[in-house]
Amino acid sequence: MAIEIEQPRVGLSKVAVSKTHGEDSPYFAGWKAYDENPYHETSNQSGVIQMGLAENQVSFDLLEKYLEEHSEASSWGKGAPGFRENALFQDYHGLKSFRQAMANFMEQIRGGRAKFDPDRIVLTAGATAANELLTFILADPGDALLIPTPYYPGFDRDLRWRTGVNIVPIHCDSSNNFQITPEAMEAAYQSAESMNLKVRGILITNPSNPLGATIQRSALEQILDFAVNKNIHLVSDEIYSGSTFSSSEFISIAEILETRGYKDAERVHIVYSLSKDLGLPGFRVGTIYSYNDQVVTTARRMSSFTLISSQTQHLLACMLSNKEFSENYIKTNRERLSKRYDMIIKGLKKAGIECLKGNAGLFCWMNLSPLLEKPTRESELALWKVILNEVKLNISPGSSCHCSEPGWFRVCFANMSEQTLEIALERIHKFMEQRKRN
């Protein structure tokens, strides 16, 4: 549906008029449908249930309990601890106490199997900004980053829009559970070369969005070796690391580096955020952790465009350095997410739908390819429209994640109550029954 915009007499930039923001894609169109008719447990039971938003609402009560019992975290005023000190501390280094708390939290999530130095942490207003910042730092306009498919739709915008950098996909498919292989990486590299694009790095998301699965140790080793051989950077977006259902199943690239004695570490950079694990996307808290001094220095200076407010830092520093809270939170959050995951998998199975075996994240990767008229992107989008408009569920089609196999969908399960999830599963069940009958 083309919208006629009268061109203003005074011009705008290419960035302003470009479509790279991607908000015309189905990923975002579904959100619009939800906004227009949102489901509500009591007031709008026939509305669209939002299953396209990876938000974690299962552990709010733990945060609320902490804040109720620890008013010093949210106190901010005369006499409040640290107020005067924080008042004088303005620059982009961020509060030392907060960086220390983040480093500790990241170590806890990894079961103490990797160490983090607070002085290597650069703070940004969300992981979105962290990823964009790293792209500005590691690649020139026109260069390329290799990213395994399927990947988070937001990358198309976050990594390319203002940076002018290209994404070249590393194709993964269901034949081996979408794992990244050396052959696929090499093929992507060659593909970039044939387009005269200089590859500057490979960006992985671990645990993966949208797959909802961690990357295996052997694959991580191969990815790091590949980066070393090609002399490129490796960015590991680990924002779902605290949302792995069991602590032992997540292996961070930091652990791989540790076992290698930090050889080749200068090419590795980790992105983290509190938006998914702590369910606080509204706080806008992201970090870049880099083993490369130049990258740390540059990222820190560039972070002046995307700073976290000091009082947010102070609040979170208090919360995360409370070991009792953080340990309990990590453990309980994992258990609840795992329970939700089991619930949705069972429900989908009952409806005759299979999912990729997952072990992390706020979503599952659902296989509806048997329902497609033809194994094409168009069929997938047609099915997606039906699910959105008739079943009234907003789920994310695999094509918006650049999945090479049509028919896969990402379904979020942590941004709603259990009751709402039951309703969603019932709707899917009904839908599948109807299709069987037809």
Stretches 103-111, 132-140, 244-252, 339-347: which one binds another protein (CB under 8 A)? 132-140
| 417 lies in the binding site for another protein (CB under 8 A) | no
Q: Which residues contact 309 (CB under 8 A, 6 or more apart)?
A: none
Return all residues near 356 (Cβ < 8 A) that are at least 6 apart: 174, 177, 178, 211, 212, 213, 364, 365, 367, 408
Angle, CA 214 vertex, CA 211 and CA 219 arms, to 5°:
110
Q: Give the orientation angle of helix 323-350 with respect to helix 310-320, to 10 degrees.
A: 90
Q: Which stretch binds another protein (CB under 8 A): 108-116, 218-226, 260-268, 367-375?
A: 260-268
Q: Is 46 in the site for another protein (CB under 8 A)?
A: no
The answer, yes or no, to whether the previous bond of 148 is cis (omega within 30 of 0) is no
Q: Is 231 in the site for another protein (CB under 8 A)?
A: yes
Residue 77 sits in the site that holds another protein (CB under 8 A): yes
**By C-beta, is 162 or 429 nearer to another protein?**
162
Active site residue 96: no
The Cα–Cα gap between 227 and 223 comes to 6
Say whether residue 83 binds another protein (CB under 8 A): yes
Query: Does 142 interact with another protein (rule: CB under 8 A)?
Result: no
Q: Is 141 in the site for another protein (CB under 8 A)?
A: yes
Q: What is the rounded distance in angstroms from the CA atom of residue 131 to the CA atom of residue 356? A: 27
Residue 189: both structure tokens together: 């590299």
| Nearest to another protein of 103, 355 (CB atom) | 103
Any catalytic annotation for residue 276?
A: yes
Q: Is 200 in the site for another protein (CB under 8 A)?
A: yes
Structure-derived torsion over alpha carbons of residues 406, 22, 19, 47, reported in degrees to the nearest 10: 100
> Is residue 419 at the binding interface for another protein, with CB under 8 A as the rule?
no
Q: Of the two residues 281 and 398, which places its CB atom closer to another protein in the complex? A: 281
End-to-end CA distance of the chain: 31
- Residue 91 near another protein by CB under 8 A: yes
Residues 97, 370 contacting (CB under 8 angstroms): no
Could you say whether residue 280 binds another protein (CB under 8 A)? yes
Question: Binding another protein by CB under 8 A: which of 24, 72, 119, 140?
Answer: 140
CB of 108 to another protein, least distance (A): 21
List the one residue out of 94, 200, 95, 199 whose CA is nearest residue 137.
200
Residue 143 makes contact with another protein by CB under 8 A: yes
Q: Closest CB to another protein among 280 and 353?
A: 280
Q: Among residues 27, 66, 152, 329, which one is catalytic?
A: 152
Residue among 106 and 295 whose Cβ is closer to another protein: 295
The interface region with another protein, picked from 120-128, 237-245, 383-391, 428-436 by CB under 8 A, is 120-128
Which residues between 239 and 258 bind another protein (CB under 8 A)?
Answer: none
Beta bridge partners, 408, equal: 367
> Is residue 21 involved in binding another protein (CB under 8 A)?
yes
Binding to another protein by CB under 8 A, coded x per residue (else -) over 298-317, reads x--xx-xxxxxxxxxx-x--
186 binds another protein, rule: CB under 8 A: no
Closest distance to another protein from the beta carbon of 192 (Å) = 14
> Under the criterion CB under 8 A, does residue 297 sit at the interface with another protein?
yes
Query: If binding is defined by CB under 8 A, does position 1 make contact with another protein?
Result: no
| 16 touches another protein (CB under 8 A) | yes
Per annotation, catalytic residue among 170, 202, 276, 288: 276
Q: Which range in 75-83, 237-245, 398-406, 418-426 contacts another protein by CB under 8 A?
A: 75-83
Task: Assign 213 to helix, strand or coil.
Answer: coil
CB of 352 closer than 8 Å to CB of 363: no
Q: Which is nearer to another protein, 178 or 329 (CB)?
A: 329
Closer to another protein by Cβ: residue 139 or 393:
139
Tell which one of 160, 171, 233, 276 touches another protein (CB under 8 A): 233
For this structure, is 152 an active site residue?
A: yes
| CA separation, residue 157 to residues 22, 26, 48, 140, 153 (Å) | 6, 14, 26, 16, 8
Instruction: Find the Cα–Cα–Cα–Cα dihedral 421, 427, 431, 434, rounded to 10°.
Output: 140
State the catalytic residue, choosing from 143, 237, 253, 344.
237
Per CB under 8 A, 75 contacts another protein? yes
Q: Closest Cα partner for 380 from 390, 391, 371?
A: 371
Pairing of strands 199-205, 233-237: parallel
Per-residue burial over 248-265, b = 16 or more CB atoms within 10 Å of its CB, e = otherwise: eebbbbbbbbeeeeeebb
Q: Is 13 in the site for another protein (CB under 8 A)?
A: yes
Buried/exposed code over 372-405 (b: 16+ C-beta within 10 A; e: otherwise): beeeebebbeebbeebbeebbbbbbbbbbbbbbb
Residue 173 among the catalytic residues: no
**Catalytic (active-site) positions:** 152, 237, 239, 276
